Structure 1
Amino acid sequence: MVYSPLIAASKYFKYYIHASNSKGHGMHSPFVFEFITKVMNDFTRYPDYERVEALRKQLQNDPSVLTVQDLGAGSAKSSASTRKVASIAKNAAKPAKYGQLMYRMIRHYGALRILELGTSLGITTSYLAAANPEARVVTLEGAPSVAQKARENFTSLGLNNIELVEGNFDDTLPAVLNALEKVDFVFIDGNHRKEPTERYFQQLLPYIHNETLLVFDDIHWSAEMEAAWDNIVVQDAVTCDIDLFYIGILSFRKEFKEKQAFAVRF
């Protein structure tokens, strides 16, 4: 069950007090220092930002209704089987700062094989695809009506490097990974439960490499998600984890001689 606003606020306060500053001062990890100074603190207003945010604004005013088959832990705002596009855009889509951060990550690290678990309306997907037009972006969505709306959004933005796969992740993920062979960047945002989150991580492991980055959404969303994150970061393959509270980032770089764990204000 999702944390109440009071518990969530308490957890955020604890995170903020203990997290490193967002300037990179005193950061002894060259990789994390570069991430903070060159990616987090890249304040360039890329033209793609305006394009995607114009789409977001349009969707936030879209009164059309979609049938939603929620295969994950459900929406924190609504458990209805039908939802307005405007409601999904306002409550379920990742805020702009996180989509734009992942955009900068893909640009900076040159990711070419990108996977997203949980398309929704495709706002974040659009950031992932726009960041590198040469990249192959595969995104998975369980609800057909939502997937169709996302496809329309990709077309409206002229994004031609996205392949949307419909269906339950349990059924679609293995074949998608086999087809990709390797993954450079993965955003996991489709099932906010402990067991599936950990299972997706295990399924991804054979397809990662030294420069792969995994981003997990809502790692402090619930006790289940916190438990999943805690279990994942201690796995041998993970050499560095960065907690930004609303998302968590994993690196697998073997040049790290010891595990590194950071919480950074963002």
Structure 2
Amino acid sequence: MSKSHQIQSYLKFLKSATNQHGVHSPFVYDLVTKCFYDKTKHTDYTIIKTYINTLSNNTNTIEVTDLGSGSQVFKSNTRPISKLAKVAGSSFKEVKLLYRLSQYFQFNSILELGTSLGIATQALALGNPKAKLTTIEGCPNISKFTKQSFNNFNLKNCEILTGDFSNIIQTLTSNSYDLIYFDGNHQKEATLHYFEALLKTKHNNSVFVFDDIYWSKDMTDAWQVIKQHPQVTVTIDTYNFGFVFFRKEQVKEHFKIRI
């Protein structure tokens, strides 16, 4: 991971990004104004914040098995849950956006790659409590801990699958997903492999969301490849997230939106 890559790419992003006024697609304009820029203080935000605070105040440690690109912060595999929540978990601002996205589109079937402590998972699940959400976690200890956390918060519409992403994905390719959230392995090859493998689960209105598209040069390269894929029509880059749409009725167009 290169901090300089992140800084340079952020400055570049700011120069070329716009707000809703630079958007001429009605579909994207509505998404930006009614979802991305929705300033409503949703009551579920309190539940999300409580979940994050509970994890941030948990001083217990957990033995972590890293199956992805490893940690940029931790030197040891024994990690305090409070630190994991701060480093590996999504920020409150990011998860509020995921919550709004889930609520806006009313996704019925959601797949998440990379459960971690379940901060993003909880937000997506609360966005549409009727959704069936499947999330994959590589580390058995984290998976066990997060299952218990979901029980404590009475989150009933989430199923955690534990194991290597590639192996589990192979068992899911006959499913159809409205949303797939990619937040696990931030390596180019792995990201593109998961993307290609899961393309067969999409439909015309599916949304793929990639976390940390500027995490490294490798990850940004993967994002560029995804944007050019023939089945991809519209993409939205918000710097922290890359949103991918497959709507055949849309002309191929790429947006950069400041949030």
> TM-score if structure 2 supplies the norm length?
0.97
Match of 1:128 among 109, 117, 124: 124
Correspondence 1:94-113 to 2 at 5 A: 94-113=90-109
Correspondence 1:148-227 to 2 at 5 A: 148-178=144-174, 181-227=175-221
**Paired residue type of 2:24:** H
Shift of 1:82: 1.4
Aligned counterpart, 1:36: 32
Q: Helix, strand or coil for the counterpart of 2:160?
A: strand
Deviation sequence 1:35-69 (CA, Å, 0-9, x none):
11010111111121111211111211211111111
Aligned counterpart, 1:265: 258
Correspondence 1:7-86 to 2 at 5 A: 7-21=5-19, 24-86=20-82
CA distance in 2, matches of 1:172, 1:26: 40
CA distance in 2, matches of 1:241, 1:164: 28
CA distance in 1, matches of 2:201, 2:168: 15
CA distance in 2, matches of 1:239, 1:198: 17
CA distance in 2, matches of 1:30, 1:65: 48
Shift of 1:79: 4.0
Of 73-82 and 11-20, the range deviating more from structure 2: 73-82
CA distance in 1, matches of 2:155, 2:55: 17
Deviation sequence 1:158-216 (CA, Å, 0-9, x none):
110001000010111121333xx200001100101010100000011111011100000
**Paired residue type of 2:9:** K
CA distance in 1, matches of 2:154, 2:139: 23
Paired residues of 2:5 and 2:217 also in contact (CA < 8 A):
no
CA distance in 1, matches of 2:18, 2:206: 23
CA distance in 2, matches of 1:151, 1:85: 14
State the identity %. 37
Q: CA RMSD in A?
A: 1.1
Aligned length: 259
Paired residues of 2:169 and 2:198 also in contact (CA < 8 A):
no
CA distance in 2, matches of 1:244, 1:187: 15
Shift of 1:145: 0.8
Of 168-177 and 214-223, the range deviating more from structure 2: 168-177
1:230 maps onto 2:229 in alignment = no
